[in-house]
Structure 1
Amino acid sequence: MAPLADALLALARRDLTSFHALPVSHEGSLRDSEIRERYLALYGAAHLAADVSYSGAMLDSFFRPRGPLLQAQRLAAQAFGADHTFFLSGGTSTANRVALGALTRPGERVLADRSCHQSIHFALPGLGVEVDYAPMRACCDSCPREFGDIRRLLEMYAEAAAEGRPYSTVVLSAVSYDGVRYNLPAILGALAETHPHVRVLVDEAWGAAHNFHPDLRTLTALHTSRMLRRSGEGRQMEVAVTHSAHKSLSALRQGSYLHLIGSEEMHERAAQELFQLHTTSPSWPVLASLDLARAQATAEGERLLRRSIDLAHTVRHEIDTDEKLSAFEVLGPDRHLLDSSMLVADDPTRVMISLKNLGISASDFRRQLFEEHDLYIARECGDAILLHLHIGVDEKAVQRLLQAMRTIQGNRRRASSAFSGGTCDQFIIAYPPGVPIAVPGEHLDEGRQRLIASLRTQGREIYTLRGRGPAEPLQQPSPRRD
């Protein structure tokens, strides 16, 4: 059941003409246009028919919904375990601003996780609150990830309460870009025990899907809040949770959920903030995708997430056991084991991979994957990259990635043979300036090898050329991992 999506689909199927706005809707402004085919190639006739500007009784009111949008938001609240859920088409940056406006009051104190998203940092100064930041900390020597120092955050919260100047609101970034998850049962439990009237914003931008798998659900904010409420500990706590739905569910970009657990006053304050901060022209296709994403996650989420976890395990296993992937190394603390000292855990759908033994920068590796293998990886952390095995990644895609990694490693191994010393049988040329470092017959000694390595770090391109023939890019050799 997807009431908003179904209502929008019914309107898209009608031959409607609008005398209000959105000339492109139903291809109205494109019928005699020379660029109509490009519109259709990019968006398709179905999307153009569904992108409408109807409101009120014709579809629903965005700010005071009474029809299919209200039904869809109620179904989402039920699926996620919230008291109320808002759909937003302006992204989670807007959702975070709406949540902060609903939770805070001028003159109050706010304790914020330093690792939170920029939208939170930008919004806090304009709210008339006093803000303190808990510091960040590194994961471990072998892993470049950083996240909030939760132990210190809880200490700061307890110290403020003991001084009689408690923080009214705490902001947490609980599911990070780099795949770090906070132990929210322990954290929210400690906050409620210290000062039960606290309000909490939990930014779970990357974790909307986690609510639909039994093993991942236990660390989510909404599940934790329900458990605390049932136990009596969190009865007076008010919690807002934001989800950037397109990051982990089948929603369109800029689709965001704002979930609330708390009083009706909190709900009304959020509705007022939404009215002030959200565009008055929301994207109905984006809002309908939030309805569909919830419907799919409810019906299929556990199965899809189980596949994601299994595929992440496949990547780790192949890297650990396949000699053709020996230049790669999986990073991270004790995989998927909750670290009781840091109050964090790994997201099992993420895999961080070191490239330091491959002899290629993370940016060059990403470029090769994209340009030569049609694979895209967004995140690089120093000499490591991060894979997100989301529900849109299947077995075929993972095998394609692993084969690309084998190919890149093999090419690196072959290229490294030119640095084996002895007599050079080819030209080795740095560009710029285009002057050979070595010509056929010269000895490729350690000095020349060091020069090649130095020029590469300066951004020079190194080529090899065997007489009359095409030049091939040559890269610095990669040391083999035992």
Structure 2
Amino acid sequence: MLGKNADFRERQLRAPLYEQLERHVKRRPHPFHVPGHKMGHSFDREGKHRFQAILELDLTEISGTDDLHQPQGVIAEAQELAAEAFGAEETRFLIGGSTVGNLALILTVCRPGDKIIVQRNCHKSVYHGIIMAKAQPVFLVPAVDLATGVAAGVRREDVERALQAHPDAKAVFLTNPTYYGMGIDLEKMAAVVHRHGIPLLIDEAHGAHFGFHPAFPLSAMQSGADAAVQSTHKMVSAMTMSSMLHVQGKRIDRERLRRYLAMLQSSSPSYVLMASLDLARRHLVTEAAEEWDRLLPQLDKLRERTGKLAWLEWPEAGASSVYATFDPLKLFLHLRAGTISGFSLQHLMEKHGIYPELSDSSHVLLAASAGTSSRDLESLARLLESLAVEVEPDEERVLEAGVVSSHYLREQAVPMDVAVDAPRETIALEQSLGRIVAEMVIPYPPGIPVLVPGERMDAQGLSMLLELRRGQTRFHGVQDDRLQTIQVLQSTSRGHTTGVGGTRL
């Protein structure tokens, strides 16, 4: 974190879990324990030269390596250093991505029938947690950025209104920042939620770097949130699937949280992934700022250099924005063009060896990090400058934004946990208008459901899915990942109204 003293930095130079694994390897032990590759002695001949160094560290719970589910040694110390670095009272390593943390938090705060106030444009894991907990979601429609047409965060006044209308809600669960890097004023949001005596839970998957450089927004922990889940692998240097869960204050039942983490996490967690969390924390505290000092001016030059292109717009937070902060590491290209789509631009980029994070009809998102090189940025700038694209009138962007906002206003005809187990049938997507959806339709990335089980398909939702399908979007949560067909509740169940399926404000 910013402004820490010399003693803090001295402690943070340690990487206790990684150091213990290295000490064990140097002993040249005889591994009569799992895993079966025996520290790399038996492995695919062709792949061994790539994996050998990692396989030596791929250990299990033996003397000296501690146990993630009952940490008392080097894992406990590594988690304590992480808590200190991220400003939390307690940190838990997650070997299963932020998904595990989101599930555990929702199961911790909600019992069957409990209400939870949720941002509608949240990750699919939040919906899965609600279904597993059999909780009743109160959905908050996000504000839509008129300049780009994408959904941002929720307004404080909408959260306040929901809390007044549902005083029995057990928690507020928000996403900050969004996939696109847009954020809200979390300090003020936490004050609103805490006035009602319940916890504020934050999916901070894309904000593990927040608070570690003056150019970045404050983190959820710095802003007073009760719990935050971070994908330490997304924007900083941990390996894929490696995440952290940070907790502070007394509004979270930590013993209940530990029990659910024990149920949801593997009993054979990867020591390689846990060690990468240990090292990512150390790198974040001791080395990353210098790398960002190099990178951030280059990102500014990229935006300045390509900002003259009439067909391209770089979003930024301003007085009229619906978001309060914007992550400078997110290169969010808003295309003001009539002759190229985001899907087409992604395809063109990939032909030139540039692989973005995601695209849609009018945007391409690229995620930079401390690992982004000047060569990467130069290749991107040259490609963008080489394109000659005609520009549409500005009013088209406002119309698009209005359509985007409608994606979050669908009728929840049947509770999610009821709909997932109800009798279903498969029909052509084009025939689904008015039907109750039986599966979660998730364009991936970003992994935000546009329909959830129990919602009724409307004309705007169907039109959007047809457009995404034309753009060859990948879909998760559905039986047919090409979305030629979709599963809906059987016609005899279409009038089913048992229970309350979630409220929208």
Q: 1:51 aligns with which of 58, 65, 68?
A: 58
- Corresponding residue of 2:46: 37
**Structure-1-length-normalised TM-score:** 0.73
Which residue of structure 1 lines up, in the alignment, with residue 213 of structure 2?
Answer: 213
1:260 matched to which residue of 2?
247
Change (3 A) 1:338 1:18: farther
- Consecutive unaligned residues of structure 1, counting only runs of 5 or more, are 226-237, 414-457, 460-482
Q: Deviations over 1:82-114 (max 9, x none)?
A: 000001111111111112222334443211111
Does 1:336 pair with 2:317?
yes
Partner of 2:416: none
Contact 1:182–1:343 (Cα < 8 Å) also in 2:
yes
Query: Cα offset for 1:315?
Result: 1.6
Shift of 1:343: 5.2
Distance in 1 of aligned mates of 2:68 and 2:95: 10
C-alpha separation between the residues in 1 aligned to 2:294 and 2:247?
A: 30
Aligned match of 1:112: 118
Contact 2:102 2:203 in 1 (8 A): yes
Contact 1:151 1:342 in 2 (8 A): no
Distance between the aligned counterparts of 1:259 and 1:12, measured in 2? 31
2:131 partner letter:
P
2:360 equivalent to 1:381: yes
Alignment correspondent of 1:22: 35
| Aligned with residue 75 of structure 2, among 48, 52, 69 | 69
**Counterpart for residue 203 of structure 2:** 203
Q: Which residue identity lines up with residue 122 of structure 1 in the other structure?
A: H
What is the CA-CA distance between 1:160 and the residue it aligns to?
A: 2.6
The amino acid across from 2:149 in the alignment is: P
C-alpha spacing 1:78/1:379, structure 2 compared with 1 (3 Å): same
Q: Which structure has the larger Rg over C-alpha atoms?
A: 1
1:247 to 216, 234, 238: 234
In structure 2, C-alpha distance between the alignment counterparts of 1:311 and 1:127, rounded to whole Å: 46
Shift of 1:319: 0.9
Aligned to 1:143: 148
Structure 1 counterpart of 2:277, one-letter code:
L
CA distance in 2 between partners of 1:38 and 1:185 (Å): 48
Change (3 A) 1:185 1:265: closer
Q: Secondary structure at the match of 2:364?
A: strand
**2:376 equivalent among 380, 397, 419:** 397
Deviations 1:234-275 (A, max 9, x none): xxxx71100001111110000000000123972222211111
**Deviation, structure 1 residue 347:** 1.8
**For residues 395-474 of structure 1, what are the structure 2 equivalents within 5 Å?**
395-407=374-386, 409=387
Identity %: 26
Deviation at 1:29, TM superposition (A): 2.1
Distance change >3 Å, CA 265–CA 159, structure 1 → 2: closer
Unmatched 5+ stretches in structure 2 = 1-13, 391-469, 472-505
Aligned position for 1:446: none
Query: Counterpart of 2:307 in 1: which secondary structure?
Result: helix
Shift of 1:215: 4.3
Q: Which stretch of the first structure deviates more once superposed, 259-268 or 376-385?
A: 259-268
Asked whether the equivalents of residues 226 and 251 of structure 2 are also in contact (C-alpha less than 8 Å), the reply is no
Q: Report the CA distance shift for 1:354/1:170 in structure 2 as closer, same or farther (over 3 A).
A: closer
SS at match of 1:24: coil
* Structure-1 separation of matches of 2:126 and 2:226: 16
Aligned alpha-carbon RMSD (Å): 2.4
Structure 2 partner of 1:469: none
Between the aligned partners of 1:395 and 1:358, the Cα distance in structure 2 is 30
Residue 328 of structure 1 and its aligned partner are, at CA, apart by 4.0
Instruction: Measure the CA separation in 2 of the matches of 1:107 and 1:2.
Output: 43
Deviations 1:198-241 (A, max 9, x none): 112100100001121134243x210011xxxxxxxxxxxx7110
Q: Could you tell me whether the CA contact under 8 Å between 2:329 and 2:367 is conserved in 1?
A: yes
1: CA distance between counterparts of 2:346 and 2:15?
Answer: 38
Structure 2: how far apart are the matches of 1:25 and 1:392?
32
TM-score (norm 2): 0.70
Q: Which residue of 1 aligns with 2:495?
A: none
In structure 1, give the amino acid aligned to 2:72.
R
Name the SS for the 1:222 alignment partner: coil
Deviation for aligned residue 1:320: 2.2
- Amino acid aligned to 2:362: D
Given that 2:199 and 2:251 are in contact with CA atoms closer than 8 Å, whether structure 1 keeps it comes out as no
Higher relative contact order (CA 8 A, sep 6+): 2
Match of 1:426 in 2: none
Q: Deviations over 1:334-373 (max 9, x none)?
A: x23365x7453222222322344383332232222223x2
CA contact 2:303–2:314 (8 Å) conserved in 1: no
CA change 1:300–1:11 in 2 (3 A) is same
Cα 1:342–1:383 change in 2 (3 A) is closer
Contact 2:153 2:323 in 1 (8 A): no
Q: Is the 8 A contact 1:157 1:166 kept in 2?
A: no
Q: Tell me the residue number matched to 2:332.
A: 352
Distance in 2 of aligned mates of 1:47 and 1:338: 49
Which is helix-richer, 1 or 2? 1
Tell me which residue corresponds to 2:186. Answer: 184
| Deviation (angstroms), 1:50 | 1.0
**Residues 319 and 328 of structure 1 are in contact (CA less than 8 Å); yes or no, is this contact kept in structure 2?**
no
1:8 alignment partner, one of 12, 21, 26: 21
Contact map agreement 2:202 2:229 (CA 8 A) in 1:
yes
| Number of residue pairs the alignment of both structures matches | 379
Change (3 A) 1:300 1:344: same
Q: CA deviation at 1:389?
A: 2.2
Match of 1:129 in 2: 135
Distance 1:204 1:256 in 2: 10
In structure 1, the residue matched to 2:417 is none
Secondary structure in structure 2 of the residue aligned to 1:144 = coil
* Cα pair 2:160 2:193 within 8 Å, conserved: no
The DSSP-based 3-state class of the residue aligned with 2:245 is strand
Say if 1:114 and 1:148, in contact at 8 Å, map to a contact too: no
- How has the CA–CA distance of structure 1 residues 358 and 106 changed in structure 2, closer, same or farther, with 3 Å as cutoff? closer
SS at match of 2:55: helix
